[in-house]
Amino acid sequence: MNQKNNVTRRDFVQKATLATGAASLGLTNLMKAHGHGSTFKRPLSIDSFKTTFEREPLIHSYGFKGGYITRLWQVVAQLQDTLGNKTIGLGVHSPLWSDSRVTSAWGESGSNSAMYNLTCRALQMIEGQSFETPIHMVEDILDEVWAYGTKITNNADLRTTFALNALTSIDNSAWMLYAKQNNITSFIDLIPNKYKAAFSHKNTEIASIPSISYSTSVSDIEALKDEGYFFIKIKIGAPGSQQEMLEKDMRRMEQIHNIFGTSAAKTDSGRKIVYYLDANGRYESKDTLKRLLDHCKKIKVLDHIAIVEEPFPESLDVDVSDLGVRIAADESAHTDTDALKRIEMGYTGIALKPMGKTLSMTIKIAKLAHDRNIPCFCTDLTVNPVLVDWNKCIASRLKPFPGQDLGLLETNGGQNYRNWETMIGYHPRGNASWNQVENGAFTLGEDFFKESGGIFLELEHYNSLFKE
Q: What is the pLDDT of residue 132?
A: 96
Residue 243: how many other CB atoms lie within 10 Å: 10
- Rounded Cα distance between 294 and 72, Å, is 36
Q: Where exactly does CATH 3.20.20.120 map onto the chain?
A: 193-464
Domain with CATH 3.30.390.10 in the chain: 3-183
Provide, for the chain, the percentages of residues in helix, strand and coil under a 3-state DSSP scheme, each rounded to the nearest 5: 45, 20, 35
Measured between alpha carbons, how far apart are the two ends of the chain, in Å?
A: 19
3-183 has which fold? Enolase-like; domain 1 (3.30.390)
Output the CATH code of domain 193-464: 3.20.20.120
- Residue 202's pLDDT is what? 96
pLDDT of residue 434: 98
pLDDT of residue 39: 45
Enumerate residues 6+ apart whose C-beta is below 8 A from 132.
Answer: 30, 31, 32, 34, 36, 38, 43, 44
DSSP H stretches of helix in 24-133: 95-98, 100-126
- Residue 136 neighbours by CB distance under 10 Å: 21
Q: Among positive and negative, which fits the CA dihedral 49, 333, 92, 15?
A: negative
Residues of the chain with pLDDT under 70: 1-41, 262-269, 468
Q: What is the DSSP string of 274-300?
A: EEEEE-TT----HHHHHHHHHHHHHTT
Its sign, for the CA torsion 200, 205, 208, 209, is: negative
* Distance (Å) of CA 85 to CA 22, 45, 180, 456: 22, 10, 7, 13
> b vs e for 3-19, b when ≥16 Cβ sit within 10 Å of the residue's Cβ?
eeeebeeeeeeeeeebe
